[in-house]
Amino acid sequence: MGKTKKAKLYNPWAPWLFLAVPLLIYLVWVIGPMLYTFFLSLTKWDGLSAPSFIGIKNYRKLFDDPVFFISLKNNFVWIAFFITIPVILGLALAMALNRDIRGSKIFKALFYSPMVLSLVVCGLIWSWLYNPTQGLFNAVLEAVGLEHMAQGWLSDPTYALGSVITVAIWRQVGYVMILYLAGLQSVDPFLVEASLIDGANKWQSFVHVILPQLRPMTVVVVVISIIDSLRAFDLVSVMTRGGPYNRTSVLANFMYIESFNNYKMGYGAAISVILFMISLIFIIFYLRVVMQEEN
């Protein structure tokens, strides 16, 4: 009798009623603007007058724009650095700190602390450090007799991009470390001990036992690093605004300048669509890997 009563009280629409508000918000604030951006990419619009439909002219102009290709190349440079240095250093730190040793929690907090700071704050702090006349780096070089190596780190086209990426890597390493520390909790310690008993050294145990078990987390780390590098904007905007001579420009910064500085909203929307498509490729790859792991 009680079971029948409960069955009658069940309403199959109840979950959708609870989800209605968040779904509506998501449609209004995420899906709607995204679809509208696709439409704007096919228009000429200055942000004030009514958009006028021009088809794919923005995309044709984009592929004739040298700044677009510089920005695209710089984004791939970001990707190359982000999937190597932070991943390697983050994994090394995770392996070193994944032990019950004195002070390990303090070191974990210290290495993760840059993630607590916003990218704008990081950019301002490092801009002071890079200052050619009063910055710490040039002051140290001069103090040790290497004043000939002092540079205008953010104004020299040779060093500007590397200087900005260095800040991003400094901030990203702690985040990767935390992800790998979480992944190491799923590593079977008995397999590690068995490999050592069978005669493997620590490096062989790491390569052949630990690393394969960290594969799912490595995929997550690499995909997150790629997406973070593709949406790089804050540091570039604060530290160089894409200069000098567009040498540090990335797609997000290029999109912002064209949209809000040059009032070419349609052109900026086309840039954002290209950036979205590139990101989507890596997201689909990630989802496929995750689905294969679950199956």
Q: What is the DSSP string of 2-57?
A: HHHHHHHH--TTHHHHHHHHHHHHHIIIIIHHHHHHHHHTTEE--SSS--EE-TTH
Q: For residue 216, what are the CA distances in angstroms to 82, 93, 105?
A: 18, 18, 25
Average pLDDT across each block of 10 residues of the chain; the chain has 295 residues. List them in order: 54 84 92 94 92 95 94 95 94 90 86 92 94 92 89 93 96 94 90 87 91 90 90 93 93 95 95 93 82 70
pLDDT of residue 294: 65
Backbone angles phi, psi at 178, to 5 degrees: -65, -40
Contact yes or no for 153/162 (Cβ under 8 A): no
Backbone angles phi, psi at 52, to 5 degrees: -115, 130
pLDDT of residue 285: 83
Q: How far apart are CA 238 and CA 193, in angstroms?
A: 49
- Listed by start position, the domains of the chain span 73-248
pLDDT of residue 10: 67
Q: Which two tokens stand for residue 274?
A: 């290209």
**73-248 has CATH 1.20.140.10 classification:** no
Q: Which two tokens stand for residue 116?
A: 């607590």
Q: How far apart are CA 252 and CA 243, in angstroms?
A: 14
pLDDT of residue 204: 92
Q: How far apart are CA 265 and CA 45, in angstroms?
A: 5
For the chain, state the CA radius of gyration: 25
